[in-house]
Amino acid sequence: MMLLRLLTWPYVRKHKLRTILTIAGIALGVIVFVGMRTANDSVLYGFQQTVDRLAGKAQLQISSGETGFPEEVLERVQALPEVDVAVPVIEATVKTGLPGQGNILILGVDMTGDRSLRQYEFEEGDESFIDDPLVFLAQPDSLMVTSEFAAHNHLATGGKISFDTMIGPRQFTIRGIMKSGGLASAFGGNLAIMDIYAAQKVFGRGRGFDRIDLKLKPDVSLAKGQSALEALLGSGYQIEPPSSRGKQFESISRIFSIGASLNSAFALLIGLFIIYNTFAIAVTQRRSEIGILRSLGASRRQVRGLFLLESAILGLTGSILGIVFGLLMARGMANYVSSLFGEIYGVAQRVETVAADPKIIALALGIGVATSMLAAWLPARDASQVDPAKALHKGAYESFTAEEGRLRLIGAACFLAAAAVCLFLRGAEGLRLYAGYLSVVLAAILLAPAMVRCLVAALRPLLRSLLPVEGALAAGSLIQSPRRTSATVVAVMLSISLVVGLGGVSNSSYQSLMGWMNNVLNPDLFVAASEQISDRGFRFPASIGDELRRMDFIDEVQMVRTARVRFRGAPVMIVAVTIDSLARRVHPQVVAGDPSRMYREAAAGRGVLFADSLARLKGVELGDTVEIPSPAGVLKLPVVGITIDYSDQQGAILMDRSVFVRNWKDDTVNLFRVYLTKGTTAGEGKRRILAQLGARNRLFVLTNDQVRRFILRVTDQWFSLTYMQIFVAVLVAVLGIVNSLTVSITDRRRELAVLQAVGGLRRQVRQAVWMEAMAIALVSVLLGLALGAVILFYYIGIIREEIAGVRLEYEYPVRIALALIPAMIAVAFLSALGPAESAVRSSLVEALEYE
């Protein structure tokens, strides 16, 4: 500690900017980690909180994916001796249309039995209703809201509120206001209760329920109850405690979580190089100080401990700042992530609180400090090995020794060999891809100093031809001091490769998506029950389809029913549509199977089609017989075709509508794909449908162009999070450049002063510093672009094999790469402005005497 106060503190005070930059390097990594994780967890937590509060005393919930099931199931469940109470539930989210209120969750319940499971405490309401729930039943426009919702919207008992329902806009009367807390705090308090039979009508559920919530008799264990219910209902139903719904939601949003974690890790990796750079330089600059310490009796361990302690303190400071700003970032991001989840996965949730999770905070602190100490480990070891007698020979330590260079090359060769082995091995696709990716990155890191040397040597004539003195000085500085620049080059290289990799994935995804939309998304109009096409809360009765078909300007109508069901332990989207009609109209890219045969078999109900991505993730192949749980029992059908399909982010199972109606006893529809007759424009068709059906039904008519724009907008939002992470990575790299230049200028104070002493104008000194920065950027970008080309290959592989199963074409993002070169040079130039000014404004006399 004494050493820290005597030696470190004065050094830190002298190099304030560098210390700040180092802390910022760690802080940025931690910000991304804490921000992304907290935002993600807050959304998941919000969902789970809502589930828990809605569940009340329910021990088990019975569902059949998202599809719901017929009413008669309730009677069978209630008759089971193990069951104490079983009540039906319908859940749907509706746009309130009220300023600042967003969506409200409406719970359809049977008030006569529901009070046995859920506690309803009223602040005010019709006394008759509070005393007798039958009054609630007798008045189908009844609605109970929470006190928060009522207060925000100035509603009182007897007040009216309107929603668009499946039977057109309807006005509801507030008959009770629930007290805060418990059930009333679900969905952030934006909750309303409605009679279940009214809900069936309003949300288009026909004669079905979404779920049954139940309580077992006191002497019946959960496991016993579960097995009794399974025996009663068969494997087409999920019988689980309420908490498992959170897990399902987590499983659906898995891709986002993986992406967030990978990118946080990458940001920290880049931060690691910034810290390594700082400590490597500090050890070089304080060599004589270390030599004195050693000659005065300090042990190697004490010297190493001093540097590691310094790194731990910097890491801790950076982590604390990162946590504070990360939580602020999470606050800003949580609602964005929540609405993104709603749009992509069609699962409504509401972020109630963005709170600091102690586990994440502890992990962030641990990761920040560990990263910092890990980064400082090698410099600290170097410091401990300083030979006191040689400590005053400064210059020699700026470059790597021949031995170091040789070891780096051997290490790089080993990693490249490992990458090659991973490439040609078969089996364990995910593992070999991750191992190959890591090997390539490590090889690139080890090769960086040698490649910098070669590239700068190649650039030297160009730099000199631009500005002879400034160019030669910039190139010379980079060649002579690889220790000073290589970590920055590595940080920038990794950032650029990340940009290229993610940019390439983004480009390929858009292209693939555009290809799918052109092949499959060809109806003139889409008639949806919700404004948001992915929302499955409302459903049309099949009769609307008949009405549409009767319209003389409509050529063909395809009825689409989408719902998630549990397939091999995870929620998977089913798309049920009239395959005959679909086969005539769309031409998806077929990956496996004979196109005419697969449609014939699927249309006859003798098979299903799988999205290529889903088949890859679930290990399903053409000809396999898959088991899909349905209320009528387990549906066993062969896979007759595999196609490229982006109906859902994780891929979908396509089946004929007749199969769905037969097995799920559900003929409701989420979406109508409408083809107009020749000569009818989309605008005209939309106007006429709305004129004929709009007044009586809740429906949204979207043109083909609107749907495409919606899909692209959601995709843009998805990738915008990625771009934000890229921005952070680039920012960390910029910090590295500023750090390197600050050090370079300190190191070259005398050199730059000599330049001025022998006649160099301030402009010329500035130009020398700018050129050095731009040379660092150019070399780093070139290396990053090359590494990015390899990383993109791995990203595409990992996405295919491990994350989304999607087959993306390898296409190098040339435009991004071309834009990065001038952009990074400009960023480097801007980063160099401050250091260049400090170089020309320091005292010449002092600088000439500087050692």
Partner 1 sequence: MIDLQDVSKQFDGKRKVTALDQVSLSIAKGEMVSLVGASGSGKSTMLNLIGGLDKPSSGEIIVDGQRLSRVSDDQLTRVRRDKIGFIFQFFNLLPTLSCLENAALPLHLRGWNRRRIDERARELLDLVQLGHRLDHLPEELSGGERQRVAIARALSVYPPILLADEPTGNLDSHTGAEILHLIRNLHQRLGATILIVTHDMGVAESCPRTIRLKDGKVVEDIRR
**How far is residue 321's CA from residue 400's CA, in Å, rounded to a whole number?**
34
CB of 787 to partner 1, least distance (A): 27
Which residue, 4 or 479, is less far from partner 1 as judged by CB?
A: 479
**How far is residue 269's CA from residue 493's CA, in Å, rounded to a whole number?**
12
Distances (CA, A) of 740 to 310, 410, 485, 486, 769: 19, 27, 6, 9, 11
Residue 164 is given by DSSP the state: E
3-state secondary structure 571-613: EEEEEEECHHHHHHHCCCCEEECCHHHHHHHHHCCCCEEEEHH
**How far is residue 719's CA from residue 713's CA, in Å, rounded to a whole number?**
10
**How far is residue 260's CA from residue 502's CA, in Å, rounded to a whole number?**
13
CB of 492 to partner 1, least distance (A): 22
Contacts of 638 by beta carbon, 8 Å cutoff, 6+ apart: 601, 606, 607, 608, 623, 624, 625, 626
Distances (CA, A) of 711 to 336, 534, 613, 708: 17, 10, 18, 5
Q: Are 183 and 56 in contact (CB under 8 A)?
A: yes
Which residue, 760 or 813, is less far from partner 1 as judged by CB?
A: 760
Please name which of 621, 651, 657, 627 lies closest in space to residue 639, comparing C-alpha atoms: 621
Which residue, 458 or 845, is less far from partner 1 as judged by CB?
A: 845
3-state secondary structure 348-410: CCCCCCCCCCHHHHHHHHHHHHHHHHHHHHHHHHHHHCCCHHHCCCCHHHHCCCHHHHHHHHH
**How far is residue 506's CA from residue 509's CA, in Å, rounded to a whole number?**
5
Query: ∠66-67-69 over CA atoms, to 5°?
Result: 125
- Residue type for 159, please? G
Which residue, 476 or 834, is less far from partner 1 as judged by CB?
A: 476
**How far is residue 597's CA from residue 603's CA, in Å, rounded to a whole number?**
10
Which residue, 194 or 847, is less far from partner 1 as judged by CB?
A: 847
Which residue, 395 or 595, is less far from partner 1 as judged by CB?
A: 395
Count other C-beta atoms under 10 Å from residue 847's C-beta.
18
Q: Are 737 and 777 in contact (CB under 8 A)?
A: yes
Count other C-beta atoms under 10 Å from residue 405's C-beta.
15
Which residue, 244 or 480, is less far from partner 1 as judged by CB?
A: 480
DSSP 3-state assignment of 697? Answer: coil
Contacts of 741 by beta carbon, 8 Å cutoff, 6+ apart: 769, 772, 773, 776, 831, 832, 835, 836
Which residue, 682 or 765, is less far from partner 1 as judged by CB?
A: 765
Query: ∠723-727-728 over CA atoms, to 5°?
Result: 120
Count other C-beta atoms under 10 Å from residue 786's C-beta.
17
CB of 479 to partner 1, least distance (A): 7
Q: Are 512 and 825 in contact (CB under 8 A)?
A: no
CB of 287 to partner 1, least distance (A): 17
Which residue, 720 or 843, is less far from partner 1 as judged by CB?
A: 843
- Interaxial angle between packed helices 482-520 and 468-480, expressed in degrees from 0 to 180 and rounded to the nearest 10: 90
CB of 386 to partner 1, least distance (A): 21
Which residue, 409 or 754, is less far from partner 1 as judged by CB?
A: 754
- Give the pair of three-digit tokens for residue 253: 């949003």
Residues that bind partner 1 (CB under 8 A): 395, 468-469, 472-473, 475-477, 479-480, 750-751, 754-764, 843-845, 848
Q: Are 529 and 94 in contact (CB under 8 A)?
A: no
CB of 295 to partner 1, least distance (A): 24
**How far is residue 813's CA from residue 19's CA, in Å, rounded to a whole number?**
36
Residues composing the chain: 851
DSSP 3-state assignment of 336? Answer: helix
Buried b (16+ CB within 10 A) or exposed e, 11-46: ebeebeebbbbbbbbbbbbbbbbbbbbbbbbbbbbb
Please name which of 394, 436, 396 lies closest in space to residue 415, comparing C-alpha atoms: 436
Q: Where are the beta strands (DSSP E) in 380-511?
A: none
**How far is residue 647's CA from residue 700's CA, in Å, rounded to a whole number?**
19
Which residue, 431 or 845, is less far from partner 1 as judged by CB?
A: 845
**How far is residue 234's CA from residue 227's CA, in Å, rounded to a whole number?**
10
CB of 611 to partner 1, least distance (A): 59
